[in-house]
Chain A
């Protein structure tokens, strides 16, 4: 079964850090670009970041550039998102996603809460 499973979410204080993970199974992880997408409570989907299949290229939304770092370990079939200097507006469910022509593989999401 093709599957993505996120973990690492939780409560963090403003200015703090958190690392999200996304474990892949059921497909050849190393062949796919991977993405993070977030959704604040009651709001729409926002693309956050992507990494190409061999980790030689990344891109970020302006809102997270310089604070978030995407990475991957193809041997472990795992995607990561290191989030630093977290702000209240970063609070959201974070999804990892992938696919050839669009995002046809999604995880269930992990919740990040930023509050003192």
Chain B
């Protein structure tokens, strides 16, 4: 199975801060990596696909980078509505499932 490991598990930051979340894959997944934002009681929302492509309608302060096994989600200037939990997901293969990372909870400092 492909394991996805996110870090940190939680993060405290202030409005206006620049923050980054990392995701490591246990094997080469090329650029088959997506990032989601989830708020309490809601379905996840796709932010980034293909490691660095911004989903339509997502603010440009969100960006993704990386390939092979190491990926990063960056929020350039945190807004109040960005405090949520973020998940990475490999979309490389469905033979073993489209595995998610364990999540990173972004909280207000």
Minimum C-beta distance from B36 to chain A (A):
7
- A45 contacts B87, C-beta separation under 8 Å: yes
Q: Which A positions have Cβ atoms within 8 angstroms of B? A: 33, 35, 37, 44-47, 50, 59-62, 95, 97, 99, 101-104, 106-109
Contacts of A107 in B (CB 8 A): 43
Interface of B is mostly: loop
- Total interface residues on B, CB under 8 Å, equals 25
A13 vs B102: C-alpha distance when bound (angstroms): 28
> Residue A99 contacts which of B1, B46, B99, B100 (CB distance < 8 angstroms)?
B46
Instruction: Enumerate 23 A-B pairs (CB-CB under 8 Å) in ascending A order.
Output: A33-B94, A35-B98, A44-B87, A44-B103, A45-B36, A45-B44, A45-B87, A45-B89, A46-B100, A47-B98, A50-B98, A59-B95, A62-B1, A95-B43, A95-B44, A99-B49, A102-B34, A102-B49, A102-B91, A103-B36, A103-B89, A104-B46, A104-B55
